[in-house]
Amino acid sequence: MSPLITADALADLIAAGQPVRILDVRWRLDRPDGRAEYRAGHIPTAVYVDLDRELAGRGEPTDGRHPLPSIAELGEAARRWGIDDGDTVVVYDDLSSFAAARAWWLLTDAGIADVRILDGALSGWTAAGHPLEEGSVVPVPGTVTLRRGILPRLTMAAAAALPERGVLLDVRSEERYRGDSEPIDPRAGHIPGALNAPTGGNVDAEGRFLDPAALRERFAALGVTDGAPVGVYCGSGVTAAHTAFALTLAGYQPHLYPGSWSQWSNHPDRPVALGSQPGGRS
């Protein structure tokens, strides 16, 4: 079963009364709180999810800007969203699924068997002619039980070592990868040995994921193979989940580095590469 779902297929699930929980994960760096947009219009029955508070934990700068929440915190949030064991969970946002992918990764990693991303995000839903509803949805609390560790991940040390035996993808913009500028984190540049693969290359102009064959071609051109590990990181571990999802669609088993550049750059002992080449110049 594909971890993607079309707007029409989601509408059919809702109409059939299937046990589906829809999560609205609207978030972006310049406007992290998407509640106002959610209340103005969301997919019927969708519950708003606060990425900063519910899909991330709290920690020191050396842990990164969006450390993973504890499994207890995530479980409390999931039950607050109304999720029961056995539910299908559909996640979406209004930005090409960049934020929704964080929810997909966390919930899949926590053992929910059927988590899907709405292809085309919210605009895909409205473009298909489906309605929105206003206000807020407060569901009956769910009873789901979660566990951690289904999906592979990288520690900081493992991310440092990965280029020696596989491929490490930095999915930030080219400017941030090269170290031309760094508007958020303490140091500019990239992890030595990492290759640049900006997240936006996973989707088309309408924000829909490229088909698996096209994604596989994209990643193969970067040296990704079935026989070697592939890891992904971004600024704080959010959009890296988007490329982890794209790699999954393409048939790979990606390792996510949750701390990402925000963790790495807060450790002065970690080397930094600059420029357009993986090794760069320190």
Residues catalogued as catalytic: 234
Spatial distance between the Cα atoms of 180 and 1, rounded to a whole number of angstroms: 41
Exposed / middle / buried, residue 205 (Cβ in 10 Å: 0-12, 13-18, 19+): exposed
Closest CA to 119 of 248, 233, 208, 223: 208
Within 13 A of 213's CA, how many CA atoms are on the CB side? 0
Closest CA to 198 of 237, 162, 153, 240: 240
Q: Which residue has the tokens 């993808």?
A: 169
Q: With beta carbons less than 8 A apart as the criterion, state whether 46 and 23 touch.
A: yes
Spatial distance between the Cα atoms of 108 and 104, rounded to a whole number of angstroms: 6
Q: Is 223 left (phi over 0), alpha (psi -120 to 50) or beta?
A: left
What are the tokens at 239? 């959009």
Is residue 98 helix, strand or coil?
coil
Q: At 219, which amino acid appears?
A: F
Closest CA to 214 of 240, 244, 241, 249: 249
Spatial distance between the Cα atoms of 234 and 280, rounded to a whole number of angstroms: 18
CB count within 10 Å of CB 78 equals 28
